[in-house]
Amino acid sequence: MSSPAGLESMKRLQRLSLDHNQLISTRGLRDVYTLLHLNCSHNHLLTVEGLENSALLCTLDLSANSLTEPPSLSNQVLLSELHLQDNSISSLQSLSAAWMPLLQQLSVAQNRYPPPGILIL
């Protein structure tokens, strides 16, 4: 599977596991408003799109992809877990634009951070 298409009729879907596929796009998630937990780990994602309407999202796992920056999370104020480990992220600066008051766990191990002594937030 390369894209999660055909989910728009699942009006009560709360948990979606798309891990260990060959996803290259998440655009098909745009019409799924009720998601609480989304796992898209171990795929081939370069960017993440389609989460703007997922305002109820509590857990987002994007680990083991090819992301170069965190996704835009401006509407995910209920997010409590964000897993971004094992990607190609070099900065978390874009996360500063998101208001995530309930975030308790942020996993960013095994990414492309700058050399020690240089902190980029």
Model pLDDT for residues 7-60, shown as the tens digit of each residue: 888 889 999 999 999 999 999 899 899 999 999 999 999 999 999 999 999 999
Q: What is the CATH number assigned to the segment(s) 1-121? A: 3.80.10.10
Query: Residue 81 belongs to what H/E stretch?
Result: strand 81-83
Beta bridge partners of 63: none
Q: What is the pTM assigned to this prediction?
A: 0.90
End-to-end CA distance of the chain: 34
Closest CA to 84 of 119, 113, 54: 113
| Interatomic CA distance for residues 86 and 74, integer angstroms | 23
